[in-house]
Amino acid sequence: MSDRDAAAARQLAGKTVLVTGGSRGIGAATAREVHRQGAHVVVHYGRNAETAQALVAELGGRATAVGGDLATDEGPADVWRRALEATGVVDVLVNNAGAWLPSAIDSDAGWQEGWDRNLALNLRAPAELCRLAVLHFRERGGGIIVNVTSRSAHRGDDAEHLAYGAAKGGLLALTKGIARGYGRDGVLAYAVAPGWVATELADGAVDEALLAGLPLGEVTPPDDVAAVIAFLASGASRHTTGATIDITGADYVR
């Protein structure tokens, strides 16, 4: 083991990290990275039970899979309960699960369905998990929340995904409010705001024209996002609480 790997392995030693949407994409990369840094990782999945179990088997010890549909009213509480039943404690919550869902403005039914689905998965579910995490952390003297938002939270999204951008903007505001409201309870809250990331969510949307317009000429690897999440999860920079880290390869610079 290199000196770098040895140092990394101590960052999250003894911590339990719950990663929603942890079976693939940014979530799977995050699960691997926090596990590498010594954490026990709880890999949440919605429908990809086989993929989640394969990831847990790959990681070996200090890894657990829990399922649950976060888009339902009871889903977030069920996932939180299962995580606690499996591990006894959660030290870090990573709200990664989400979906880039359309909300067609020219269709009454499509507009309403798009807003309902986006708010349920991209805002209400992480908000409820944040609530449960804050209550748990206050009892334990503190904890960390990392919410995965989007560059859309800052600039808005395209015309077909207005609800997605609005939901991610709400999640960003929630993160700031938690940081301001519960810092004295030892609760730290951060947001990361990726742009285009090489995941299934971007499949079909990334073409040569888009790549040509990116400053680095490529979409962001999930490992880059995971590295930032793991750093924030370590608590190494407490006074960064409330901040948003943009991960866009300079595609969107505030």
Instruction: Name the catalytic one among 164, 182, 190, 234.
Output: 164
Instruction: Name the catalytic one among 23, 150, 152, 234.
Output: 150
Identity of the residue numbered 206: V
Angle at Cα 116 formed by Cα 113 and Cα 121, nearest 5°? Answer: 125
252 catalytic residue (yes or no): no
CB 17 within 8 A of CB 94: yes
23 catalytic residue (yes or no): no
Instruction: Name the catalytic one among 23, 152, 168, 190.
Output: 168
The dihedral sign for the CA sequence 181, 137, 127, 25:
positive
This prediction has a pTM of 0.93
State the pLDDT at residue 196.
87
| Predicted confidence band of residue 199 (pLDDT cuts 50, 70, 90) | confident
> Rounded to whole angstroms, how far apart are CA atoms 101 and 158?
11
Q: What is the pLDDT of residues 121-173, one digit of tens each?
A: 999 999 999 999 999 999 999 999 999 999 999 999 999 999 999 999 999 99
Q: What is the pLDDT of residues 210-254, one digit of tens each?
A: 777 788 888 899 999 999 999 999 999 999 999 999 999 998 898
- Cα 196 to Cα 102, 105, 123: the distances in Å are 17, 23, 20
Q: List 146's β-bridge partners, or say none.
A: 94, 190
> Rounded to whole angstroms, how far apart are CA atoms 31 and 43?
7
Longest CA–CA span in the chain (Å) reads 58
234 catalytic residue (yes or no): no
3-247: CATH, from 3.20.20.370, 3.40.50.720, 3.10.580.10, 3.40.50.920 = 3.40.50.720
Domain ranges in the chain are: 3-247
> Rounded to whole angstroms, how far apart are CA atoms 118 and 123?
7
- Three-state secondary structure call for residue 244: strand
CB 169 within 8 A of CB 152: yes
